[in-house]
Amino acid sequence: MHRTPSPDKDDNTDKSAELQDFLAALLEDPEREAVASEIQVLQSIYGDDAIRLWRPPLKDGKRSASTSRRDGTIRYEVVQSLPSPHDDVSIKILVSLPETYPKSAPPQLQLLSKYIGSFGADAQLFGSILRTYISVSGVEWSEDTVCVFDGLQNVLERCVAWYEDRLSAEKAGELVREDVAAANMNTRTTSGSSSPPMAEQPGVGDQMALNEPPPVPAALPAGVHIYVAEPITDRKSAFIGRACRIHHPSEVPLILSHLMSDRRISRAAHPIINAWRCQLDSVLHQDNDDDGETAAGGRLAHLLQILEVNDVLVVVTRYFGGIHLGPDRFKHINQAARNALELGGFLDAPEKKNTGRGKKH
């Protein structure tokens, strides 16, 4: 009965010797000398143990050759650690070099790691790495130029961004859960009192949601109550709308400062996308802020305009879940804002309207 050998302490030595023998053979071939030199440079950068000839999966209990001799393709694996502070996470990349590389064909890179950290790599990441040398966001290849190192660095940067997006999405989920728990606790706290339902009280949400003393929040202007709508979630992103009555434009920066003093809000990807309108006498004051989400503030301002809502500040907090939503994000931002306005009763009977079309008396 055939028994497959199990890895032992001599396995790394065997693989290292195998690679050195292979490089020695390549150096004797003028057509492959550049490839051998490039691999040696990669060894000096990443370490001797980071590069190994690729071994195809077992077939019928036997392992085929490490490289494809029939078509002249050279295949080897490169193990890279993500840069600090993620240096405990590594990825494995398969490098395939056509017989005509680097003279007239680019290399191909493939992600072999099924997981990056604790997150399963997805098809989009696999595909983007395969397209490293044919994508506008990848690496430019030119004839007679070795370029594996540039490609590996590009892949490393892409994997770091992908991994950090997943970490952010995981943290966003925690923050949203804290935010919802704080809002729910705040609802129970304010029920039965003279304060409007679902109104945020300074410091209450932080004190109830966190098991540590919260920072002293910036004070809200007197008489201001912030209404918090239920989160809207889509593909791990979350959108939370808030709305409050304002009596003077000078209150706006104080309210935004109060919101930003809450760490659950301030750590979101876009904490305070906002728009406001405030009418003093016959003059309508208004402004908006995208807070990094291009054109989002202007859309909120347009929402307030078409709803003819005055003397109101509306704020939307977006927690990014790692997956780009495209135009859908604007739909959710507007809906989150509208939900907050409805919750606060601002859509029932606006206090003031001035469309400019009224008759003069």
pLDDT, tens digit (0-9, with 9 covering 90-100), for 288-325:
999 888 889 999 999 999 998 999 999 999 998 888 88
**pLDDT confidence of residue 266:** 86
DSSP E strands in 11-107: the ranges are 51-53, 74-81, 90-97
Give the Cα separation of 240 and 175 in Å (integer). Answer: 12
**What tens digit of pLDDT does each residue of 10-44 get?**
566 678 888 888 999 888 888 888 999 999 999 98
Which pLDDT band holds residue 159 (cuts at 50, 70, 90)?
Answer: very high
Task: Give the gyration radius of the chain's Cα atoms.
Answer: 29
pLDDT band per the 50, 70, 90 thresholds, residue 205: very low
CB neighbour class for 258 (10 Å; exposed up to 12, middle 13-18, buried from 19): buried
- 96-108 confidence digits (pLDDT tens): 999 989 888 999 9
- Residues 57-80: pLDDT tens digits? 655 555 554 444 466 899 999 999
The tokens for 277 are 């309108």
Task: Round the average pLDDT of the chain to a whole number and report it.
Answer: 79
* 10 phi and psi angles, rounded to 5 deg: -85, -5
Instruction: Supply the angle between the helices 33-46 and 11-27 in degrees, to the nearest 10.
Output: 140
Which amino acid appears at position 273 of this protein? I
- Residue 203: CB partners within 8 Å, gap ≥ 6? 214, 216, 217
